[in-house]
Amino acid sequence: MHTGKLVFSQLMDFLPRHDFDKCVQHYRGNNRTRGFSCRDQFLAMAFAQLTYRESLRDIETCLRSVEPKLYHMGFRGRISRSTIADANRGRDWRIYGDFAQTLIRRARTLYADEPFGVDLQGTAYALDSTTIDLCLSLFPWASFRRRKGAVKLHTLVDLRGNIPCFVRVSHGKTHDVNILDELPIEPGAFYIMDKAYVDFARLYRLHQHSSFFLSRAKNNLDYKRRQSHAIEKATGLRSDQTIVLAGVKTAKLYPEPLRRIHYLDVETQKRFVFLTNNHTLPALTIAQLYKCRWQIELFFKWIKQHLRIKSFFGTSPNAVRTQVWIAISVYLLVAIVKKELKIDRSLSEILQILSVNPFEKTPVFTLLTNSQHRLSTARNHKQLPLFDL
């Protein structure tokens, strides 16, 4: 019988403790904590994400029921819902945001060679946002409609491994295009987005930083064709043109030539018009690259189904951001465990297995690769058959 660490404690060992302590010290997170540290707060919130807890009372009840094991899970302070609520409301959410950035760098290194469907040498990012509905009476600071509250989760995902590299939680009324002002720009990288991000002044900023963007063109785009390039219609391409903007304002905001590609999806019979500043990649590769943007939609669907970001344990803006960043950290933790242990399972399967075994003492690798759950085909000869075939 294995007498080692609890599964939950083994998982936390994958997190760099030194980097976490640096983030806490930077924002003075443990000042006047009265025994319940930032580490305790993170462990309690991570436990809630891993085991699908629904409320602070739920967290308190579950952890207090295994109180003799709390020390071995890493807890040093007393668990109570009021203490966790105070920590979520008062401690700077940037502690967990900065710590998540450490995990992002580690995960991106592990997934640097991961294929994503297009043979591309550089990095490709997908940019989009998702709206999280909130109760207006509980979150009055997040008014979105007359009787509805909401926040937006703006995310930049590295398509190699679906790793979120940039996350911003904003007011529900914030327009998507404004996030381009905060976006870190990587020279040579591709930024794939939808029509909501077509703002030529901001797109020209990407161009000036030697990066590439790919978006769908708006229907009222005013342009002049400079040159048409040869295409193979059998692939779904309908046109590949070099254009310049002809609008009075847009021509000044983006004075350089652009590339306009018309593509027909043979399977769905839908037509797409793409706009990009890349003039070297084949037109079909551009179309295939835009298809990969769907991965960010799958990312949003995954975190909403498997993590607690649709219902929150606190009602303050700080509590909401804290919970979002710790949820992102748990997602990254599962991705890191999958890659470092070379687990041949999906992230959702790994999370499901971990969610029901946090207090076991089985090694994580054995737990995630165990095949004992498979039914044995060997017949027990001491057991009489029900039917004789």
pLDDT (tens digit, 9 = 90+) per residue, 89-109?
A: 999 999 999 999 999 999 999
Give the whole-angstrom CA distance, residue 361 versus residue 47: 16
Instruction: Give the residue from 276, 275, 342 showing the smallest Cα distance to 111.
Output: 342
Number of H helices, E strands in the chain: 14, 10
pLDDT band at residue 172 using 50, 70 and 90 as cut-offs: very high
Over residues 210-224, the mean pLDDT reads 94
- Residue 335 host element (H or E): helix 317-340
At 147 the pLDDT is 83
Instruction: Characterize the bridge pairing of strands 223-228 and 237-245.
Output: antiparallel
What are the residues whose beta carbons fall under 8 Å from the beta carbon of 151, sequence distance 6 or more?
131, 132, 134, 142, 169, 170, 171, 172, 320
Q: Residue 91's Cα: distance from chain center in Å?
A: 23
CA atoms within 13 A on the CB side of 226: 10
Give the whole-angstrom CA distance, residue 170 versus residue 334: 26
- The residue with greater pLDDT, 172 or 146, is 172
Over residues 312-332, the mean pLDDT reads 95
- Residue 289 host element (H or E): helix 283-291
What are the residues whose beta carbons fall under 8 Å from the beta carbon of 208, sequence distance 6 or more?
none
Would you kindly state where each structural domain of the chain is located, as residue ranges? 7-95+314-365, 212-286
- Residue 40 host element (H or E): helix 38-51
340-366 pLDDT, tens digit per residue, is 999 999 999 999 999 999 999 999 999
At 181 the pLDDT is 94
At 33 the pLDDT is 75
Instruction: Characterize the bridge pairing of strands 223-228 and 212-216.
Output: unpaired
Give the whole-angstrom CA distance, residue 360 versus residue 69: 11
The CA-atom distances, in angstroms, between 9 and each of 3, 13, 43, 324, 340 are 13, 6, 10, 22, 17
Give the whole-angstrom CA distance, residue 164 versus residue 263: 29
* Angle made by CA atoms 258, 262, 267, in degrees to the nearest 5: 145
R_g of the chain, CA atoms, integer Å: 25
The whole model's pTM is what?
Answer: 0.89
- Residue 201 host element (H or E): helix 200-208
User: Do residues 98 and 26 lie in contact, with contact meaning Cβ atoms separated by under 8 Å?
Assistant: yes
Tokens 């999906």 belong to 346
Give the whole-angstrom CA distance, residue 134 versus residue 149: 5
Over residues 114-127, the mean pLDDT reads 88
At 373 the pLDDT is 44
Over residues 246-251, the mean pLDDT reads 93
